[in-house]
Amino acid sequence: MEWLENYNKAFLNYSGNNLKRALSEFRVALDKCPADATDVSSDIMYHIGDCLVRLSHPGAGLTFWKAALRYISDEREAMKILEKINSYGMVKRLTDYEDDYNAFKSIQLKRFLKTKISMSFSNLTEKEMIISLIDKQFQELYQDSKFQILSCSSKLEIFRSFKIVFPFIVKDEIKESSNIIFYDFSRKIRLKAGVTCSCGSGLDYSMCCGSIPEFDMFLSDTN
Ligand SMILES: [Zn+2]
């Protein structure tokens, strides 16, 4: 029961808001705890995810939450995690505005980075310029009061078809996923929110393979 020591230390730090310390203790506890103790490991994974999100790494945090969801048997425990994920399959922020903004930003950022051979920003100036361009476009979109009352899936369609003309694009425009329809051929159903993901995770498609990546996942090289 050596892992229990790390587990307890982790919780002590967690409740004292010492998140970095808690994170490293949780990681050790996860490594050491028995593989068949799925209740324990899913609980640890949930807390690792929570620490990461609160330390401004939503992408990594979400990965742990999704892993935890695969092992959780208790429905109420699963709800605790699902409540923290929004309809875009991203970490839920304080307001709908932030949720919309993050989804839009992530989709546009991905589109821009796909035009780069390195898949990352060349420098800080470029990064700031592109993000401020995305911000401006979102503000314009959001000012339309008709936009604000749309459903999440309608907003998503707009976000995916919204083409920002980015400067300095070297490669040809990429055949982007905007017009791709995700389809499960074995079940003959279109993959969208509310449909169980075809990867076998048991999760809703929009919270699994169909979720929008958090933009911190694109930025790891320039941080
Ligand atoms: Zn999946």
Q: How far apart are CA 86 and CA 193, in angstroms?
A: 11
How far apart CA 163 and CA 173 sit, in angstroms, is: 11
Separation of CA 127 and ligand 1 centre (Å): 30
Beta partners for residue 31, in sequence order: none
**Residue 185 CA, ligand 1 centroid: distance in Å:** 15
Query: Residue 204's CB: how many other CB atoms inside 10 A?
Result: 20
All domains of the chain in start order, with CATH: 2-82 (1.25.40.10), 96-217 (no CATH)
- Cα–Cα distance, 3 to 34 (Å, whole number): 9
Question: Using CA atoms, how far apart are residues 172 and 33, in angstroms rounded to an integer?
Answer: 50
Angular region, 164: left φ>0, alpha ψ -120 to 50, beta rest? beta
pLDDT by residue for the chain (223 residues), tens only, comes to 789 999 999 999 999 999 999 999 999 999 999 988 888 999 999 999 999 999 999 999 999 999 999 889 889 999 999 999 999 999 999 999 999 999 999 999 999 988 888 888 888 888 999 999 999 999 999 999 899 899 988 999 999 999 888 876 555 445 555 556 677 777 777 777 778 888 877 788 888 888 898 988 877 644 3
Q: Ligand 1 centroid to 156 CA: how many Å?
A: 19
The structure tokens listed for 35 are: 């593989």
pTM of the model: 0.82
Residues 199, 209 contacting (CB under 8 angstroms): yes
CB 110, CB 84: distance < 8 Å: no
Structure confidence by residue, pLDDT tens digits, 110-137: 999 888 888 888 888 889 999 999 999 9
